[in-house]
Structure 1
Amino acid sequence: MHNSHTDTAAAASAVEAALLARYSARAFTHQEPDPELLRRLLVQAGRAASGGNLQPWQVLALRGAALAELIATARQGPADEDERQLSYPPSLWEPYRSRRYKNGEDLYASLGIGRDDKPARLAQLARNFEFFGAPVGILVCIDQRMGHAQWIDLGIYLQSLMLQASAHGLATCAQGFWRRYQGALKPLLGLPEHYMIAFGIALGYADDSAPINQWRADRADPQQWLQMRGF
């Protein structure tokens, strides 16, 4: 006899497992995801909620020669100097400043890179250019005329994709890094002038032997950000 309650509980458990398993992987194997699976994940992520059903995302998935060309073009630069492309406000305030600082220190510590080892830190930062060795690089773009609400929609698409990938044993890393290379990459990608790269996503199978993939960023105590009233 079919039990809808059991099915619902199993589905909820699977979603929770994917959420808890997801992390930002920064080392990948050479194994490529099945193209049909990847397409399915990208398309199904498009079921993400968006205000007014605008669906403001434009998504480019690259691998092989196309990915190599993108990486080579970005490396030649130059990086954009527009502060609007920065991942964080220029003068970050507390508690966000301390969270960001600790996250960086913990990440480099997982690699055995000291605070004063600037060459090693820059080398790790440059791994962004390679999508951290992932066989698939994804760029999510948006019309620059869109507002803050549509950027929220992009975040919902991103999380939908990352959770689906996690459920299928794939790893991801979202990268704001790619916003700094609009000028170099837009001609290559054929993006209209009014479009911009919002972020990149490295996607593939995690290299579980890599020390950096053993590290997990911590989370703030919910008391710092959660209020429940009337419960």
Structure 2
Amino acid sequence: MSSPPAPAQDVAATTALDAITSRRSIRAFRPDPVSRDTIETLLRLAGTAPSGSNIQPWSVHVVQGDKRRELSGLLLQAHHAGVEPTPEYQYYPKVWRPVFLERRRQTGWLLYESLGIRRGDREAAHAYRGSNYDFFGAPAGLIVTIGRDMEHGSWIDVGAFVQTFMIAARTFGLHTCAQAAFANYGDLVRAALGIPGSEVVVCGISIGHADLAHPANRTRTPRAEIGAFTTFHWSEA
């Protein structure tokens, strides 16, 4: 596996290629604010993502300031109290194929080793996972939902929306992290934000300025070469 080159500093991407290759999951942010105008612009850009028959099945709740702190406080309280998560949906396979399990383990080990968390230290790992619910310190975050009546195709559309938002953020010098962790406590999220039960919490997205000095942001997860996932059915003209 190989990784795209990491950006030398937290600068705005100036080309589509820069935006794509410099996007990564940031797990520590600086407190510098992000303006509402910027987030509205990014949401308009994300709203151009493709969707089947242009139904645009995503819904978004943006949290900042007091509401962000309230939501994070509720989720952190549940996490640290050991409240059993009740995921909104099955994210990972119930039975892992070796190649995917290896990639997952490698990603986890790279992150925990950068933080000085030893393998098997479940208490430290659990404590760190709680930072998900604080949006990794980002000043603002998004909660993305989809109607329970939507089918698999619309979930693909929501994925396209999320990716478009995150790539667009790089053109403003901002970083993001898509977080399925918020789906662990969907009932708490809905209660805090007044989201109806007819909506499924898909994920959160942290957005802000990356703290590139933080050890959690010093590693880059490796990516498979295209030969690992591509078969060419190709004939030269």
Shared fold, TM over 0.5 = yes
2:233 is matched with which residue? Answer: 229
2:139 is matched with which residue? Answer: 135
Q: Deviations over 1:101-126 (max 9, x none)?
A: 11111111111221022222112111
1:118 is matched with which residue? Answer: 122
Secondary structure of the residue aligned to 2:177 is strand
2:86 is matched with which residue? Answer: 81
Give, in whole Å, the separation in 1 of the partners of 2:66 and 2:185: 19
Q: Which amino acid aligns with 1:181?
A: Y
Q: Which amino acid aligns with 1:55?
A: Q
Segments of 5+ residues of structure 1 without an aligned counterpart are: 1-12
Q: Sort the Cα spacing of 1:220 and 1:108 in 2 relative to 1 into closer, same or farther, 3 A.
A: same
Q: Tell me if the contact between 1:86 and 1:179 (Cα under 8 Å) persists in the aligned partners.
A: no
Q: Tell me if the contact between 1:87 and 1:177 (Cα under 8 Å) persists in the aligned partners.
A: no
1:4 is matched with which residue? Answer: none
Per the TM alignment, residue 72 of structure 1 is displaced from its structure 2 partner at its CA by 1.6
Secondary structure of the residue aligned to 2:98 is coil
Give, in whole Å, the separation in 2 of the partners of 1:165 and 1:114: 33
Give, in whole Å, the separation in 2 of the partners of 1:119 and 1:37: 38
Query: Which residue, out of 207, 219, 223, partners 2:223?
Result: 219
Per the TM alignment, residue 79 of structure 1 is displaced from its structure 2 partner at its CA by 4.5
Q: Tell me if the contact between 1:32 and 1:204 (Cα under 8 Å) persists in the aligned partners.
A: yes
Q: Identity over aligned residues, as a percent? A: 34
Give, in whole Å, the separation in 2 of the partners of 1:75 and 1:120: 15
Segments of 5+ residues of structure 2 without an aligned counterpart are: 1-13
Give, in whole Å, the separation in 2 of the partners of 1:90 and 1:71: 29
Give, in whole Å, the separation in 1 of the partners of 2:131 and 2:91: 17
2:44 is matched with which residue? Answer: 43
The answer to whether the aligner puts 1:94 opposite 2:98 as a matched pair is yes
Further displaced range: 18-27 or 112-121: 112-121
Give, in whole Å, the separation in 2 of the partners of 1:111 and 1:187: 33
Q: How many residues in Structure 1 have an aligned counterpart in Structure 2?
A: 219
1:206 is matched with which residue? Answer: 210
Secondary structure of the residue aligned to 2:69 is helix
2:150 is matched with which residue? Answer: 146
Q: Which amino acid aligns with 1:201?
A: I
2:5 is matched with which residue? Answer: none
Q: Deviations over 1:25-63 (max 9, x none)?
A: 000001011221111111221010000111000001111
The answer to whether the aligner puts 1:64 opposite 2:65 as a matched pair is yes
1:34 is matched with which residue? Answer: 35
Secondary structure of the residue aligned to 2:28 is coil
Per the normalisation by structure 1, the TM-score is 0.90
The answer to whether the aligner puts 1:21 opposite 2:25 as a matched pair is no
Secondary structure of the residue aligned to 2:126 is helix
Secondary structure of the residue aligned to 1:62 is strand
2:173 is matched with which residue? Answer: 169
1:7 is matched with which residue? Answer: none
Further displaced range: 126-135 or 87-96: 87-96
Q: Which amino acid aligns with 2:24?
A: Y
Q: Which amino acid aligns with 2:142?
A: I
Q: Name the Cα RMSD after superposition.
A: 1.7
Q: Which amino acid aligns with 1:137?
A: G
